[in-house]
Structure 1
Amino acid sequence: MLWTITIACLLLAGLIFRQSFRKRNEAPETLGEDAGLAILEFGRAFPGEAIRAVITTANGRTVFLRLHDGKAGCMHAHGHHYACHLIEPGTVRVSSAGPKRLEVRFANAAFEGGTFEFRDEKQAAEISLWLLGSFMPGLAGQNPQISGQPG
């Protein structure tokens, strides 16, 4: 009888150790805290897009990417996978929801929008510029009316 209880306790301890070890290893991926993984996944989804800058939200579950041609990208962590979106200028609505928060609504993917909180006000302001298409140096040089020049 004593051996049965000892073996049962050892098996229970082994299961508890295995679960805690598994949770510890999966935690960064589940929370979306690995920006390198996000960059790889976005590159796999959109191989022709060059990434210039990456900013993650405060909780690390959403990653915003500034691309080479004035477009932006957005990635949401869903467990071990990311939902990748290529955002064209004019397909998103952005409004302030506080000093470090932005409310973002996507025209082509309404279910992925929401309120996002960033680490500081500077990151929130930079993301709003990316999403609103205000930072488009290529287009500003081609069309004088975009950059405020008289036409």
Structure 2
Amino acid sequence: MTLAQFVEKYNDKKIDYDGQYGAQCVDVFRQYCKDVLAIPHTGGVVGAAELFTKYDAMPLEQKYFDKLVYAGGKPEAGDVVIFAPTKSNKYGHVAIVLDASSEEIAVFEQDGFKQTGAHVGSWNYARVLGFLRKKQ
């Protein structure tokens, strides 16, 4: 399945990959890994930010992904973007990059607080921790 096919299949649908806690942003990441990247589950996390902050303790994630620290460059379509926690969201956020400019990132994401399903959204770079890119 391609990234475009993934978005078409799941747009406006709730993705609950693990059957726990409802439709979360990490569920979109897990489903994307399975359907598009053909990567198995890489290890549990308490929140999306841990996909980046605990990368060094996740051997399967290290096997399949390169960790890219954000240093002002633009991500590529298909990269996984991880956002830092905030006061109102202690878990952070993860989304799939669809496109990027120097100002913002178009993503495919899901909001675990709203439970409205997966959708296309847009973010600036203010809270970006970094990216995961499938190893070649």
Q: TM-score, normalised by structure 2?
A: 0.28
Return the structure number with greater helix share. 1
Q: Higher relative contact order by CA 8 Å / sep ≥ 6: 1 or 2? A: 2
